[in-house]
Structure 1
């Protein structure tokens, strides 16, 4: 199969995208596919012309463009199949404030939030009190994420986010542990418990630095809690109208409660990333997982 591997792009997560693409290209080539590496940053204006000559596009982009559905919409214009969700589901999931509205409408547990599109008035304070977590509304990879215990600290985090042209989403600090759960097809995978070692929350350093966090898969949780994580991950996937695969992130409270943080439509795809670790529990190699994603994408097009 002739596969167009789309990576890079120009979001703040470009380097992570390129890192994952190297492993994807190697694995697919070893499986006998002809893989064309396509850096969206350098070739965006040639995307449609290039896609026409390929059987399938494998998208390994993080942030926008990519997770916002733009690339998917373009590929659909020329009938090029791809893995994962379509434009609408991708766009809803990337926008955290929009996704949280969908979660609430579907009865899924998610923390209260405020969307800040500009620096608020000096007297403004979050309605749920301090401390809070502040993050880019459309960013990922735990970039531009911070905790604030005062208005001064909030303004410092906001300055970095708003300077990029993005909005900020503010949520109360939830005491607990990070749990994540992937969905493949219509099946929830084994949850992973994440224990940061380089800080007290799962930021960029914890996620990508050597020894930054312990990722326990399957998560050492009781059967009922694991089942509830899986149920909510699959429910969030369906509520957003997603396809192929996704990964939902949660906070497991000290009281056993679960709060849905966000859903990723193009989760990290290196052999050591979270979804590949979950797939390995099912006996799937990294290459097997890639082939399964391709199969699901082709099925979507009836091919």
Structure 2
């Protein structure tokens, strides 16, 4: 089977995506697939006349990617492409996708998790991994997903959509209930998430969050144990508990070695583990997600679980949660990639 692992792109999670894509691509090649990695934004400037030969390229065209402390410089990425068109799809990307039997989506963030590339592949009739365009779009938009969770009776912290101009910041910083979380509605990898401890920090957060997009969410801050639970197919995997080394589980803590202590399975009671797993399944189904997902939640001091958000394309880097949870039940990284391919291919093949 020929597989294009689509990664990179032009979101703030670009680097994370390239590490995910490289890991997946190499695992698939080790499993016998003819897999290559294609950067969705950069594409390939030159391709052979027979695209089929490209699927046998050494090391699957995987770059040497590593996650640094800082988020990627997207302006530099834009300037590096010879084709300076406004298209988010690089040269020959769609040709390569249509030449494949399946596209493994190793994308994160804008254009990857928000349903846009899924809708494009649907129109092309190309099977791909993970959720469809609608479920992806809902999960990526934190406001839409909050509305869906509220409608389904899923416990989630109180929230409010914020629409404001620079002149409104002072009044808003004075009136919002504290403690709260300020976040962009479409971000990921903890980018665009602020945990102000006082109203001075709240004002700064309200000023800075617009760098990540115009839709802003204010959410009641729930204190407790941070859990994340993956769903694979129709079952949940053991929860991971995360304790940041610093104050916050930010971009650096999430991806840098030593940034957080992650315990898998989480040291919670069997009853709490089951409740967390069943809650993740409810979220997965309520948002219309498919094949695999990851739900982040808080277990408070009273034993109540609160869902923060769901991820339709969770990370698959060596330090990511889903591979750790799979390993806890005896599923290796290669087997996990294989299972995602198998479930996605058969599901999509039935649709076309």
TM-score, normalised via structure 1 length:
0.95
Deviation at 1:148, TM superposition (A): 1.7
Give the structure with the larger strand fraction.
Answer: 1
What is the rounded CA distance, in whole Å, between the counterparts of 2:296 and 2:349 in structure 1? Answer: 31
SS of the residue aligned with 2:277?
Answer: helix
Partner of 1:203: 250
CA deviation vs aligned residue, 1:242-275 (integer Å, no higher than 9, x gap):
1000000001101111110000001010233100
1:167-199 deviation digits (Å, cap 9, x = unpaired): 221112211110000000010111111111122
1:102 partnered with 2:148: yes
Query: Unpaired runs of 5+ in structure 1?
Result: none
Q: CA deviation at 1:18?
A: 0.8
Task: Tell me whether 1:173 sits opposite 2:221 in the alignment.
Answer: yes
- Equivalent-residue separation in structure 2 for 1:126 and 1:264 (angstroms): 32
Whether 1:33 and 2:28 are equivalent positions in the alignment is no
Q: Which moved more, 1:204-213 or 1:12-21?
A: 204-213
In structure 1, what is the equivalent of residue 131 of structure 2? 85
Q: Secondary structure at 2:228's aligned position in 1?
A: strand
Range 59-68 or range 119-128, more displaced: 119-128
In structure 1, what is the equivalent of residue 108 of structure 2? 62
SS at match of 2:212: coil
Take 1:253 and 1:33, find their aligned partners in 2: how far apart are those partners? 44
- 5+ residue gaps in structure 2? 44-88
TM-align CA RMSD = 1.6
1:163/1:225 CA distance change after superposition, 3 Å: same
Cα deviation code 1:219-241 (max 9, x no counterpart) = 11111111110111000000001
Per the TM alignment, residue 212 of structure 1 is displaced from its structure 2 partner at its CA by 1.1
8 Å contact kept, 1:118–1:167: no
TM-score normalised by structure 2 residue count: 0.82
Judged with a 3 Å threshold, the aligned counterparts in structure 2 of structure 1 residues 87 and 211 are, in CA distance, closer, same or farther, namely same
Residue 212 (1) aligns with residue 255 (2): no
- Aligned partner of 1:191 in structure 2 is 239
Residue of structure 2 in register with 1:129 after alignment: 177
- Asked whether the 8 Å contact 1:81–1:301 carries over to 2, the reply is yes
